[in-house]
Structure 1
Amino acid sequence: MSVPLLHLQDRLTRLSIAPELGASLVNWQASATGQALLRPADEAALASGSPRQLGCYPLAPWSNRIAEGGFLRPDGWLALAPNTGHDPYPIHGSAWQQPWQVEHHSERRARLSLDSALPFAYRATLDIHLHEGCLNIDLHVTHQDSAASWYGLGLHPYFPRHADTQLHAQARTVWLAENEALPSRQAEIPDHWNFAKPRTLPTTLVDHAFSEWPGNCVIEQPGAGYRLVCSASGAEHYLLFCPHEQPFFCFEPVSHPINAHHLPGRPGLRLLQKGESTSLGFRMQYQPL
C-alpha cells in the first residue's frame, strides 16, 4: 500500500504527514541527526493504514471513550457503535478514521480539511506549521448539523520512550475508576504519577486523564540529546498513556476527561449549535541539549 505523504521542513526539523490516514503526522525528526521527535514510523507502519501506528493524529468530535452506547443531546439520544476491533467503546471520535483533503501545502505549512457526516455533520481543519524547530498544530471544528451536539477535541501524539525519559506536566487531580469501569471520580494525584517536578515515567501501566492542567509540559530526553518544550490552548486536561515495556508513551492534550459525556456537568465539553466552532492548539519546541 503506497500512502501519499506531504513533507514540511524548517532550519532544524522535518516532518511528514499522511492526509489520507486521518491527517496523521508520520515522522518528525531533527534534520541534523535524524533523531525521532515523535515515535518513528516505518514502511510497515504506513502500510498498516492505521493512525495508531503513526506519530500523531487529531481527535474530533471527542477524545477517548464514551460509555453507554452513545450520549444525550438536546434533541434526544445519539447512539454510537464501537469503531475499532479492540475496544468495546466508541473511541477518539471519527476524524482519525477518515481521509482528509489538502487545502494548502508549502515548505513549512500545510492545511488539511475534513467534511464529515459521521456521527453528525461537522467541518474540521488542521493547520500544521514548522518554524525554527517548533511544530505548531491547530485543530478547528465547526458544527454543521441542524441538531446541536456536544464537542470535545484532542491530539494524540506518540513519543519515543527511553529509560531516562522525563516528564514535567503539572496538574491538580487525576480521574480514577471504580470496578474496572471508565473513570468516574477525581482524586489527588499519587506521588508516583505527580509530574509537578520533572521525573522519569512510571514502570507500571498508566492510562489516565489529569485535570486542571495549565497547558505547559516539558518532555526531556537526556540520552537522546534533546527536550520538547510544549504548550497547549483549549486543553485543560491531558491524558497520559504509558504502556508496559513499550518504546513509546502518549501525552495527549485534550479538552475533556474520559467519558465526559456521562460525567456530572460534562466537564470540558461544549454544546455547539449549527455554525458554531471550537478549537485546540499544541506547540512542541525542539531544543537540542
Structure 2
Amino acid sequence: MSTQLSAGGVEVTVDQENGCRISSLRIDGTELLRQGAHYGCFPMVPWCGRTAYGEFRDGAAVHKLPVNQPPHAIHGFGRDAAWRPAPAAVTATDAAFTYDLADPWPYPGRVTQTVSLDPGGSSLTLAMGVETYGDSFPAQAGWHPWFLRNLGAGGEDVRLDFDPVWQEERGPDHLPTGRRTDPQPGPWDDCFGMPYGVEAVLTWPGELELKVTSRAEWVVVYDEQPEAVCVEPQSGPPNGLNTLPRLVTPVDPLEVSMTWAWRRLS
C-alpha cells in the first residue's frame, strides 16, 4: 500500500509500509530517485548514520542497538518499519504518517512525518517530529535520499554544488574523529557542517536543477556508488547519540524539516 500525491506535472509516491520512504518522485514523467526497496528517500530516525559499535550512553546507562552494518548500527529503525497514515491529513498534495518507537529502542515515543507537495508542483517539503511518551532521551532525525546520478535521457551526470564551513574528519572506522577540517574533494561518504542551514544544489545540465534546503546544520554526502548521489540533511553528525546528544523531552520534541525545490532547464 502506498500514498500518491500529485500537482503541476509532479507525482510523489510514499511507501508507508516500507519505512515511509518517498519511493518515487517524477517530474514531467522523469524519475529523480533511485528505484528499489532500499532506496528512494527514507527517514533516518531515531538516529542518523552510524552509531559506534551499536552502543550509546544516556547518563550512566549504556544501551545496545542491533548492529545492522557491522561493526556499527546505522540509519535508525524508521526506515524498516510500517508507518500508519493519518487519513484525515491526506489530500492530493499533503499526507501525514506516524511510527511508534518500541523495542529494541529503549524509550517509548512517537515519530510523525509529513509530506507536502506545493500545489503548483514546484517543491516538496518533508518534516519530522520526535516526541517522548515518558522519559527524556537522545535522538536524531534526518533523510537519506538517493538521487539518480543520470536521469537516463542521454544527458550529463548530475553536478553537486554546496559550500560547507567544515568537514568532519572521518576515521578508519567511518566515524567522525572529532576533528574538523577544511572541506576536501570527493568522492565522499562524509559529514559536513553548515551552521547557517543546509543548502545544496543538484544540477542535471539541460534538464533539471534541484535545491535542497534545511534549517538542520549537518549534511552527509555519499556519492561512492555509480548510480546515485545522496545529500542527507540531519539534526546531528554520525555517532551523534554519543558525541552531540540532543534530548527529546516532554516539552521539547525534536523537529526537523527539508525542502526540495526544482526548476526545469529545458
Cα distance in 1 for residues equivalent to 2:12 and 2:123: 11
Tell me the equivalent position of 2:112. Answer: 125
**Distance of aligned partners of 1:69 and 1:229 in 2 relative to their CA distance in 1, 3 Å threshold:** closer
Tell me the equivalent position of 1:238. Answer: 219
With normalisation by structure 1, the TM-score equals 0.82
Q: CA deviation at 1:87?
A: 3.4
Tell me the equivalent position of 2:33. Answer: 38
1:74–1:149 CA contact under 8 A, matched in 2: no
Q: 1:188 pairs with 157, 182, 191, which one?
A: 182
Q: CA deviation at 1:38?
A: 2.2
1:144–1:275 CA contact under 8 A, matched in 2: no
2:53–2:71 CA contact under 8 A, matched in 1: no
Tell me the equivalent position of 1:106. Answer: 91
Q: 1:175 pairs with 155, 168, 173, which one?
A: 168
Tell me the equivalent position of 2:255. Answer: 279
Q: CA deviation at 1:189?
A: 1.2
Look up the SS of the partner of 1:93 in the other structure. coil
Provide the identity percentage.
23
> How many pairs are equivalent?
252
1:27–1:36 CA contact under 8 A, matched in 2: yes
Tell me the equivalent position of 1:211. Answer: 193
Cα distance in 2 for residues equivalent to 1:56 and 1:154: 10
Q: CA deviation at 1:157?
A: 0.7
Cα distance in 2 for residues equivalent to 1:102 and 1:248: 29
**Distance of aligned partners of 1:109 and 1:80 in 2 relative to their CA distance in 1, 3 Å threshold:** same
Q: CA deviation at 1:221?
A: 0.8
Q: CA deviation at 1:144?
A: 1.8
Q: CA deviation at 1:129?
A: 0.9
Identify the range of structure 1 (176-185 vs 110-119) with the bigger mean alpha-carbon deviation. 176-185
Q: CA deviation at 1:69?
A: 3.3
Tell me the equivalent position of 2:238. Answer: 258
Segments of 4+ moved more than 6 angstroms = none
Cα distance in 2 for residues equivalent to 1:187 and 1:179: 16
Which whole-Å deviations, capped at 9, do the CAs of 1:13-68 have from their partners, x for residues lacking one?
1111110101011110113xx111222x2xxx2xxxx4x2x310111111011114
Q: 2:76 pairs with 84, 87, 93, which one?
A: 93
Cα distance in 1 for residues equivalent to 2:94 and 2:3: 10
1:7–1:16 CA contact under 8 A, matched in 2: yes
Q: Does 1:18 align with 2:15?
A: yes
Q: Which runs of 5+ in 1 are unaligned?
A: 193-201
Q: Which runs of 5+ in 2 are unaligned?
A: 151-155
Q: Does 1:227 align with 2:209?
A: yes
1:63–1:93 CA contact under 8 A, matched in 2: yes
Q: Does 1:153 align with 2:141?
A: yes
Q: CA deviation at 1:12?
A: 3.0
Tell me the equivalent position of 1:60. Answer: 45
**Distance of aligned partners of 1:92 and 1:76 in 2 relative to their CA distance in 1, 3 Å threshold:** same
> What is the RMSD computed on CA atoms of the aligned residues?
1.7
**Distance of aligned partners of 1:138 and 1:179 in 2 relative to their CA distance in 1, 3 Å threshold:** closer
With normalisation by structure 2, the TM-score equals 0.88
Cα distance in 1 for residues equivalent to 2:224 and 2:21: 21
